[in-house]
Amino acid sequence: MIFLIPIFLIPALGGIYGTEYWSQQAHPHNGRKLRLFYGLVTAALATVAVSANAILFLVAWEIMALSAFFLVTTEDEDRAVRQAGWLYLITTHISTLCLFALFAVLRVATGSYALGPLPVDLASPGIVTAVFILAVLAFGCKAGLVPFHIWLPSAHAMTPSHVSALMSGVLIKIGIYGLIRITSWLPDPPVWWGGLLLILGAGSGVLGVVMALGQHDLKRLLAYHSIENIGIIVMGVGLALVGRSLNCVEWVVLGLAGALLHVWNHGLFKALLFLSAGAVIHGTHSRDLDHMGGLGRVMPVTALCFAVGAIAICGLPPLNGFVSELLIYIGAFRSLGIGQALSWPAAAFVAPVLALIGALALACFVKAFGAVFLGTARSRHGEHAHEVGRAMTRPMLVLAILCVGIGIAPIVVAPVLDQGILAWILDGTDEVPRVATLVPLGWVSLGSLTLVALLGLFTLAMRKRITQGGSASGITWDCGYAAPSARMQYTASSFAQILGTLFGWIQHPRVRAPRVEAVFPGRTTFKSHVPDILLDVVLKPVFRFGAKLLSSFRFLQAGNIHAYLLYIVLFLMALLLWR
Amino acid sequence: MSHIVIHIFLLLVMPPLLLGVIGKTKALFAGRIGPPVLQPYYDLSKLFQKGTVFSTTTTWVFRAGPVVGLATALLAGMLIPFGGHSAPVSFNGDMILFAYLFALGRFFTAAAALDTGSAFEGMGSAREVTFSCLAEPALFFGFLVLAKLSGSLSLTTMLDGAFPLGAGVAAPSLVLVAASLFIVLLVENCRIPFDDPNTHLELTMIHEVMVLDHSGPAFGMILYGAAMKLFVMGAVLLRVVAPFELGNSWYDWGLFMAGMLGLAVLIGLVESMMARFRMVFVPTFLVAACLLSAFGVILLLR
C-alpha cells in the first residue's frame, strides 16, 4: 500500500500536467502514443505492486518495462532519443532475465509460483544467497543503483517531463519495492547482505550527486539526483537488514521507516522538480543550464515550486526530505551502540556519508536554482520565456503543498510506516516499537513550525524597517565597470568548477579549453562535458575492445556455404572424438 | 524558567560582543587602540536605520537570504546548551536539526548571492557551498564521537561533560574532535586563516563577497545572523573543550560568558598571528579536519 499511493498519485497529476505540456495540437504525431503508454505503464506498475504470483508479476513487469520503452522513445525521430531507448531496453531486459532466474530458483525451492515467505526448513543457504544476489541485480538495475545505473540519465533526460516525473518518482521505486519484498521473504539474512546494501547505497549516493554536479543539462542533473536518492533509500534498507541479522529491532524500524518515507518523499519532490523543469523547458525551449537565467521574474510560480523541491531534496527543514533523512540518521547513530549494548560500527559511517551527500546536493541545487531562475537571462531563449498555464502549475502546487505538509506534520504518515514495517518483519512475535516512539516527530513539527513563524516575523520586521528607512533600486554593484553583460555572470559550470577539481577523479570531465595566446587573442570557444563514469569511461571502451577482439574472427564468416558445411563436419567429428 | 529567559537574552544580545572582542584583541596585538568593544552594536543600530538599495535584477530570493540566515541561527541557538545549563529545546536527534538549520541558511544566502547576477557573488557562493561540503562530514564525525562517548542522541546530554566510559577513553577522541570543530568554526564563520572578514572586494573572499549587494537593514540582519552563528558554534566548542561547572547555576552563567569571551580572544589571537591561506589550501585543511574527527571515531571503535 505504501507503494500504491505514489503509483496512483503521481501519474494522475502528471496526466493533468501532460494535457498542456504535451497537447495533441502541439504534438499530433506522438501525443496519442504517449497517452496510451502512460496509462498502460501506470496500470502495470499497480499490478506489479499487488501481484502475489510469480507469473503475473513477470507479465506485469514486462508490460511495464516495454511501455516505459515506448515512453522513452516518444520522440523517436531524434537519434539521441533512440539511443537512450535502446540502452534502456537492454538494461531492463538484463533485469528481467535476472528475475526469470530468481523466480525459477524460488520455484525449485518452494515448488510453487506463489510469492511469499520462504519456509525456513526448505531454504538452503545456497539458494537463499542466490535469490538475494539475483534480487539485487534485477531490482538494482530497475532502481538505478550505481553499478547498474547506466540507462537512467539518458532515459530520464530524453523523455517528456511528466514521463520523467513518472519514471523517477514511481517507476524506479518499483525496484526498491522488489528489493524490500524479497528481503522480507528470506529467512535469517547474514550480516553481509545489509553491509553490501549499505556500501552500494553509499556508493550510489556519492557518485550520483558528484556526477550531477558536472551536468549542464537540467534534466540529466535531476536524473543523477535520482541515483543519489535511490542510494539514500538503499542505505536505509541496508540498515534495516543489518538490524534484522543482529536482532536489533530499533535499527530495522528506523532504517526501513526512513527508506519507505524517502520513497514517498522522493516521489513527491522529484516529480515536482521534473514538472518544474518541464515548465522551464516549455517556456524556454532549452535544457541547457548555461543558456537560462533570470526566469524567477517571468515564471514566479515555477520558481517557487522548484525552490520547494530543491530545499526538500537537499533534506533541509522544514520540508519532507528532512524527516526521512532524520530517520536514517538516527538509525545510523543508534547502530553505534548508543542506549543499548549492541553496536555495529560500520553503519556509523552512514551518518558522515549522508552529511557529505546532503552538502553536495545543496551545492548542486543552489547551482541549478541559481542558474535557471536567478540573475539575468543568458540567451534569447530566456528572454522570451513566459509562465505556463494552470493545467501545469496546479499539479506542481499540489506536490509542493504535500512536501510542506509531510515536513510540518510527519506524525500523520507514521501509522502507515508502522504498517509497512510490521509487514516486513514476518516473525513479528516480539514487540515492534512504533516509529513515533523512536523519533521525536512532535519536536520536528514544533521545530518546523517555529522556523516558519520566525521567518514570518523577521520578514515583517524587515519589511517595516525597509519602508521606514526608504528603499531605492539600482543596478548590481559591478565595480564601476561600464558595460556589464549577462554573459559575465557566474554560469552553472563555473559554479561547480572548484568541486569539479576536487572530484575530478570521479567525474573525468572532458574539457576542450583554448589556449589564450598573444596580446590580442582571437575568438575562441570553451567546451566541457562530464561523461557517465561507468558507461562512457568503463563500459564503452571495454565493449569496444571486445568487439575489436572478436571481429578478428570475422574471416570465418566468409559467406561461402561450402565453408560453413565444412565447419559443421569438423565440429561434429570433434564431438564424436570427445565422446 | 528564568534560565530559559537568560538563555534567550544572551543569545540575542551577546553575539556582537564577540566580534567586538575579536576586533579589540587584534588591535591590541598590533599595537593599536582599536574601536571600542561595543562598536558592532553601534554598527548594527546604524545599519537598521539606513535606507536600502535593491538591484533591479533581484527577486524575493534576495530578500529571503538575510531573513532565513538570522532565523536559522536563532533557532539553532535554542538547541545548544550554554555552559552547564541545558538547552531550552532538546530531543533525540536535535544535532541533525542543528546542522541542517545552518545548511538551510546557507542555501538561501548562496541563492540570494546568485540572485544579483554578479560574477563576484557567484564566486563567493560557489566557494561557500564547496567548502561546506567538506566541513559537514567533519561536523558529523564529531557528533558521532560525542554521541558515542555520552551514550546520548541529544545535544544537551552530549555536551554535559559526563562520559560513562571514563575520561581516559574519552580524552584522545575529544582532543581530535575539538581541533576539528575549531577548524570548522573558523571556516563556517569566515575567520582568518580561511577567509578574511575585513576586506570586501577581494577576489579571494567567501562570505563577505556573497553579501556585497545587501544594504541597510538587510545587511544588518546578515551581520547579526553571522555573529549569532559564531556565538552558537562557539558555545558548542566551549562545551567540548571545557565542560566545567561550578555547582551554583548563577556562577555557571558567569563562567559561560567568560568562556565565550576567552574564545573570542583566542580567535583574535589566531587572526593576529596567521595570514590567510591561499584559496587552494582551504579544502586541504578541511579534509584534515574530517580526518581528525574520523580518527576520533576510529579510536572509539573497539
The yes-or-no verdict on residue A216 having pLDDT over 70 is yes
Domain ranges of chain B: 2-300
User: How far away is chain B from the Cα of A458, in angstroms, using its nearest Cα?
Assistant: 6
Residue from the list A358, A443, A474 with its beta carbon closest to the beta carbon of B103? A358
Q: Which of A66-70, B151-155, B270-274 is least confident? A: B151-155
Q: Which of A252-261, A301-310, A500-509, B115-124 is least confident? A: A500-509
Q: Return the percentage of chain A with pLDDT > 90, whole number.
A: 41
Give the per-residue pLDDT at B7: 93
Q: Judge whether A218 and A156 are in contact, CB under 8 Å.
A: no
Question: What's the whole-number average pLDDT of chain B?
Answer: 89
Give the per-residue pLDDT at B83: 82
Give the per-residue pLDDT at A99: 93
Tens of pLDDT along B31-59? 999 999 999 999 999 999 988 988 888 88
Element spanning B27, H or E: helix B15-29
Mean pLDDT of A479-506: 79
Question: What's the whole-number average pLDDT of chain A?
Answer: 87
User: How far away is chain B from the Cα of A480, in angstroms, using its nearest Cα?
Assistant: 12
Instruction: Supply B132's cell numbers.
Output: 561546506
Cβ separation A490–B129 shorter than 8 A: no
Mean pLDDT of B149-162: 84
Which positions in chain A touch B297 (Cβ < 8 Å)?
348
The yes-or-no verdict on residue A346 having pLDDT over 60 is yes
Give the per-residue pLDDT at A340: 62
Give the per-residue pLDDT at B43: 94
User: Please, which residues bridge with residue A471 across strands?
Assistant: B52
Q: Judge whether A5 and A179 are in contact, CB under 8 Å.
A: no
Which of B22, B35, B39 minimizes the C-alpha distance to B269?
Answer: B22
The yes-or-no verdict on residue A514 having pLDDT over 80 is no
From B203, which residue of chain A is nearest by alpha-carbon distance?
A479
**Interface test with chain B among A374, A444, A481, by most B beta carbons within 10 Å:** A374
Q: Which of A540-549, B128-137, B167-176 is least confident? A: B167-176
Instruction: Supply A551's cell numbers.
Output: 571481429
Give the per-residue pLDDT at A528: 79
Tens of pLDDT along B204-248? 678 888 888 898 899 999 999 999 999 999 999 998 888 888 878
Residue from the list B117, B134, B152 with its beta carbon closest to the beta carbon of A376? B117
Which positions in chain A touch B8 (Cβ < 8 Å)?
none
The yes-or-no verdict on residue A121 having pLDDT over 60 is yes
- Position A341 confidence tier, pLDDT thresholds 50, 70, 90: low
Instruction: Answer whether A148 touches B (CB < 8 Å).
Output: no
Instruction: Answer whether A535 touches B (CB < 8 Å).
Output: no
Mean pLDDT of A457-477: 87
- Position A143 confidence tier, pLDDT thresholds 50, 70, 90: very high
The burial of B240, by beta-carbon neighbours within 10 Å (0-12 exposed, 13-18 middle, 19 or more buried), is given as: buried
User: CA A33 to CA A67: how far, in whole Å?
Assistant: 10
417-446 of A, contacting B, C-beta below 8 A: 438-440, 443-444, 446
How far is the first Cα of chain B from the last one, in angstroms, to the nearest whole number? 42
Tens of pLDDT along A356-396? 999 999 999 999 999 999 988 887 776 777 888 888 899 99
Q: Judge whether A213 and A364 are in contact, CB under 8 Å.
A: yes
How many residues in total does chain B contain? 302
Report the C-alpha dihedral over residues A451, A457, A460, A464, rounded to 10 degrees.
-130
Give the per-residue pLDDT at B101: 94
- Position A429 confidence tier, pLDDT thresholds 50, 70, 90: low
In the 8-state DSSP scheme, what is residue A537? I
Q: Return the percentage of chain A with pLDDT > 70, whole number.
A: 96
User: CA B240 to CA B158: how far, in whole Å?
Assistant: 9
Cβ separation B110–A348 shorter than 8 A: no
Q: Which of A8-22, A27-41, A94-108, B198-212 is least confident? A: B198-212
How far is the first Cα of chain A from the last one, in angstroms, to the nearest whole number? 57
Tens of pLDDT along A515-570? 777 788 777 777 778 888 778 888 888 888 998 998 888 888 777 888 889 999 99
The yes-or-no verdict on residue A428 having pLDDT over 60 is no
Mean pLDDT of A38-51: 91
- Position B302 confidence tier, pLDDT thresholds 50, 70, 90: low
Higher model confidence: residue A94 or residue A110? A94
Q: Judge whether A350 and A332 are in contact, CB under 8 Å.
A: yes
The yes-or-no verdict on residue A315 having pLDDT over 60 is yes
What ipTM does this complex have?
0.94
User: CA A406 to CA A403: how far, in whole Å?
Assistant: 6
Which of A236, A525, A444, A141 minimizes the C-alpha distance to B75?
Answer: A444
Cα-based distances in Å from B298 to A42, A332, B286 = 48, 15, 18
